[in-house]
């Protein structure tokens, strides 16, 4: 009984640390994870998490789901799912994200819209965040995200994204603020087989992160990926299988604190 309580306490402390450490960092998708999440200027269905302004690049009605396994502990896992629907007047997306277990969990439900104006694509997201800590109850808030991309040349794209533009807090006015997180980067695609991304990420409470990633299509249906990011230092590797109607991705990350992290995602074009 004592051992069980001690284990639960350790997990709870770890969860609290991880949850508040990741506030504002809701990037998801094994493709992105394989490139160290350096995808602010990259468009795919998971742009609903990574940069809502890039969502307009999705041309098909797509449903997707994903699973992130951290450090061999189910209490540290994340799941996500969503749907993206292009219209004649823009592209809409709905997504759901959950992190944690019974002791503590964090949930995020979002609805967003993106549209393109010439060489510029802009989008906004409204997210409902909910935190639950055992014995402390629930707290929640509405968060606004804004992002966009711009085609500098045919092979160079710029992207930027702001999380918590409305500077929302959890619960009442005396509650802790949800971090304001800003990121910006470039995506360089000299040909159809190669993509190189770089970006920086900054929250008001933490030092800036630098991220870099590369994706290479060794054959039209198989992609290999790699990346690195700082604060903390984390290397990544990924694989992708790209079929006509579905995409399956896997990513492995070696976190300096959490050790191994595995990401699995699938996207189906209907």
Q: pLDDT > 90: what percent of the chain?
A: 69
- Reply yes or no on domain 2-269 having CATH 2.40.160.60: yes
What tens digit of pLDDT does each residue of 26-67 get? Answer: 899 999 999 999 999 999 999 999 999 999 999 999 999 999
**pLDDT value of position 70:** 85
What tens digit of pLDDT does each residue of 236-259 get? Answer: 999 999 999 999 999 999 866 667
What tens digit of pLDDT does each residue of 157-208 get? Answer: 999 999 999 988 876 555 567 889 999 999 999 999 999 999 999 988 788 9
Domain ranges in the chain are 2-269
For residue 23, pLDDT over 60 is answered with no
Q: Model-level pTM?
A: 0.86
For residue 4, pLDDT over 50 is answered with no
Nearest Cα residue to 124 out of 152, 143, 151, 102 = 143
3-state secondary structure 80-111: EEEEEEEECCEEEEEEEEEEECCCEEEEEEEE
What tens digit of pLDDT does each residue of 137-157 get? Answer: 788 899 999 999 999 999 999
């Amino acid at each position: 009984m004592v051992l069980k309580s001690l284990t639960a306490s350790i997990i709870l402390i770890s969860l609290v640390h991880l949850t508040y450490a990741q506030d504002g960092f809701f990037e998801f998708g094994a493709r992105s994870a394989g490139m160290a999440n350096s995808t602010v200027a990259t468009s795919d269905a998971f742009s609903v998490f990574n940069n809502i302004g890039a969502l307009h690049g999705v041309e098909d009605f797509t449903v997707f789901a994903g699973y992130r396994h951290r450090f061999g502990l189910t209490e540290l896992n994340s799941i996500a799912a969503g749907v993206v629907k292009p219209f004649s007047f823009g592209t809409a997306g709905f997504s759901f994200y959950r992190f944690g277990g019974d002791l503590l969990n964090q949930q995020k439900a979002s609805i967003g819209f993106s549209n393109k104006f010439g060489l510029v694509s802009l989008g906004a997201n409204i997210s409902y965040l909910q935190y639950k800590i055992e014995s402390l109850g629930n707290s929640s808030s509405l968060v606004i995200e804004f992002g966009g991309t711009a085609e500098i040349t045919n092979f160079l794209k710029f992207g930027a994204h702001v999380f918590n533009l409305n500077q929302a807090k959890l619960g009442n006015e005396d509650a802790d603020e949800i971090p304001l997180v800003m990121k910006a980067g470039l995506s360089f695609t000299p040909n159809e087989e190669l993509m190189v991304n770089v970006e920086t990420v900054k929250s008001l409470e933490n030092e800036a992160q630098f991220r870099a990633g590369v994706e290479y299509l060794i054959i039209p249906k198989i992609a290999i990926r790699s990346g690195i990011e700082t604060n903390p230092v984390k290397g990544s590797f990924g694989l992708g299988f790209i079929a006509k109607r579905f995409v399956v991705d896997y990513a492995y990350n070696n976190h300096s604190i959490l050790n191994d992290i595995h990401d699995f995602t699938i996207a189906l074009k209907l």
